Amino acid sequence: MLQLRSYALGLLASLSTLTQVNAQCANNVAVYNPNARTLSANNTWFVVPVPKAAALTAVQEAYPLLNVSLLDVPADTTLFPNGFPAGQQPAIVNIGLSSDIRMSALQIDGGLRTGQVYITYVSLNGSPSPLAAQASGYIAGENGPLPQGLVPTVATSLLFGGNPARLGEFSPEGPPYQSEGNGILSSQAKWALLPNPISGPGVYPEAFDFEFTHIPASSSRYTAKGFKYLINLPQLLPTAQCQRSAYYFTNATANPVFSNGNVTFGPGADGSSATTSALMAASADGSGIYADVDGFGGCAQSVGNNIQDCDEASAQTDPNTLN
Ligand SMILES: *[C@@H]1O[C@H](CO)[C@@H](O)[C@H](O)[C@H]1NC(C)=O
Ligand SMILES: *[C@@H]1O[C@H](CO)[C@@H](O)[C@H](O)[C@H]1NC(C)=O
Ligand SMILES: *[C@@H]1O[C@H](CO)[C@@H](O)[C@H](O)[C@H]1NC(C)=O
Ligand SMILES: *[C@@H]1O[C@H](CO)[C@@H](O)[C@H](O)[C@H]1NC(C)=O
């Protein structure tokens, strides 16, 4: 097993050297965490209010064996100055580029494009500890989907503590997002169901995409602390344990920025259908578009902590992640 893992990582490293490398902030936390997975993540996260019934369906589809339910969003003005819309659950969806990925002595050259949808304020077995439950997760190399199976298998344990990752196709392929002109930025994650770069197009159902602009902090519905709180909730794993995947924005290289725009959830946002999803169907017109939602991004320093009991993970969240 260990041998297989080193082999796979070696292969991944040699593949990545062939790909372009997008410059972004360096990993400043590896030195303090030699035994943990660390990386720098230039991500954009959007908070999307979704109807509670769809949020619960998305979680139950992803964790069919676990006893999960939804907690109400607390009235905490330090996170949500105007409260949170009644009947809605915050989904947090991110697209970004993870770079300078290190695990012990191993360093992966080049970056990985990643995107996830989490439903937040999820309870396990009726516990009051708020968790983030992954509805879907996607990964790709900087030049498109990597060989089927290789990266997802390695990545699910190394990067995501055991949460599943599907092969993705991102646009743009390398950088975290791209300019569409007139200050409009975009990023897309598709589900590379049957990628076929050689003999013709594969099947790529849409997972989620962002069309947005950067906005001043004062225009955002949520505070920076609110975003950081949601981003740093312990992540529920299929084993009923949790991982604290900490994201720090304290380094001078983080350059945090607020955003506003439209998030579209496609068939790949949750569930396993290639034609529709609960989050897509629950949008106002059923098309998957959630307009006028707020986001936050920057180049965060991330540390993947050991897997632990979920209540323990919730109690041990590093307060420094909120700074
Ligand atoms: C994050 O990515 C964007 C889009 O490529 C880039 O403009 C920005 O400089 C990057 N930020 C950091 C801090 O590396
Ligand atoms: C399942 O969760 C509910 C709360 O949603 C709780 O009341 C119940 O005790 C839990 N069942 C088990 C077997 O843990
Ligand atoms: C979001 O969609 C609305 C239409 O619902 C459109 O007017 C607006 O320009 C879009 N915003 C962005 C950033 O694309
Ligand atoms: C970067 O952030 C980490 C985590 O907060 C901290 O330990 C480290 O000292 C910071 N490094 C720099 C150069 O600011």
CATH number for the domain spanning 165: value is: 2.40.400
The answer to whether the CB of 295 is under 6 A from ligand 3 is no
Comparing 19 with 117, the larger pLDDT belongs to: 117
The mean of the pLDDT values for the chain is: 88
Ligand 4 atom 7: the closest Cα is on which residue?
Answer: 29
| pLDDT (mean) for 146-164 | 67
Which ligand is closest in space to the CA of residue 111? 1
For tokens 């409009």, the residue is 184
| Ligand 1 mutation target, pool 20, 299, 301, most atoms within 8 A of CB | 299
Whether ligand 3 lies within 6 angstroms of the CB of 184 is answered as yes
Is the minimum distance from the CB of 175 to ligand 1 under 6 angstroms? yes
Is the CB of 290 inside a 6 Å radius of any atom of ligand 1?
A: no
Instruction: Give the predicted TM-score (pTM) of the model.
Output: 0.90
Q: Say how many Å lie between the CA of residue 127 and the centre of ligand 2.
A: 8
Nearest alpha-carbon partner for 95 in 116, 78, 110, 81: 116
Residue 91: give the domain boundaries: 2-322
Tell me what pLDDT residue 197 has. Answer: 62
What is the 36 CA–ligand 4 centroid distance (Å)?
15
CA of 252: how far to CAs of 27, 36, 209, 284, 299, in Å? 12, 22, 28, 40, 10
The rounded distance, in Å, linking the Cα atoms of 182 and 294 is: 19
Closest residue by Cα to atom 6, ligand 2, is 126
Q: 301 and 27 in contact (C-beta within 8 Å)?
A: yes
Q: Which atom of ligand 2 is nearest to the CA of 67?
A: 1
pLDDT tens digit sequence for 16-69: 433 444 568 999 998 888 888 899 999 999 999 999 999 999 999 999 999 999
Name, in order, each residue with C-beta under 8 angstroms of 90's C-beta and a sequence gap of 6 or more: 47, 48, 49, 50, 73, 84, 119, 120, 121, 230
In one-letter notation, the amino acid at residue 246 is A
Lowest mean pLDDT among 10-14, 132-136, 228-232: 10-14
Domain count, the chain: 1
Q: Residue 229 above 70 pLDDT? A: yes
**Is any atom of ligand 3 closer than 6 Å to the C-beta of 284?**
no
Is 70 exceeded by the pLDDT of residue 139?
yes
